[in-house]
Amino acid sequence: MRTFLCVLIPAIASAAAFAQQLPIGLPIQQVSPSFLDIESRPTDAQARKLVEQTYAYFAAKDEGRFADAYSAFSISQKRTVPFDGWKAQLEDFYRKAGSGQGRKLQKITWYKNPPNAQPGVYAAVDFTGQFPNLSLYCGFVAWRQQMDGSFELVREEASSIEKSVAEKMTPEMMQRARSQFRC
């Protein structure tokens, strides 16, 4: 396993510029017990592809290219999360949070044939991020690998605390929130 350089990747104006800004290292990786076959475990090349797609997804959202970000969704995710409602929620989020100032991928957890899901290789990518009006922002995106090696988004969860709320919290309360949010 390699550790990730502690940098935040700012929202980047173009995909070409974005690809050139990726960190050299990879986030910490772990493999779930569902990967019993050691020979079929994810490679660094798979992890790099996943990291690239994850940062591209965040860049599209941060740049307001919501249709581009939504195109990463799996068919089942699109059925569960209709575009118009998702876009409206994001626009509301960015109005409150401000523009994205970067994300850091903290960890990748790989799964093979998890319960209650279609068979395949999955990766949960834990992240943190910075926004001008938030004191805390973190979550995960879950991806399923496709036959061509690309990944499609099957789930996303994020939690945040606005600065105006955090100012009223004690350090212990903030720590409990971090723990609850799994930041």
Beta bridge pairs of residue 160 = 137
Give how many domains the chain has, as a whole number.
1
Residue 162, domain member (yes or no): yes
pTM of the model: 0.82
Residue 121, domain member (yes or no): yes
The per-residue pLDDT for range 61-75, each reduced to its tens digit, is 999 999 999 999 999
Residue 4, domain member (yes or no): no
Residue 6, domain member (yes or no): no
Residue 125, domain member (yes or no): yes
CATH number of the structural domain spanning residue 147: 3.10.450.590
Mean pLDDT of 9-24: 38
The per-residue pLDDT for range 41-57, each reduced to its tens digit, is 888 999 999 999 999 99
Q: Can you list the positions of beta strands (E) in 49-133?
A: 103-112, 121-129
Residue 118, domain member (yes or no): yes
pLDDT band at 26 (very low <50, low <70, confident <90, very high): confident
Domain interval for residue 71: 15-181
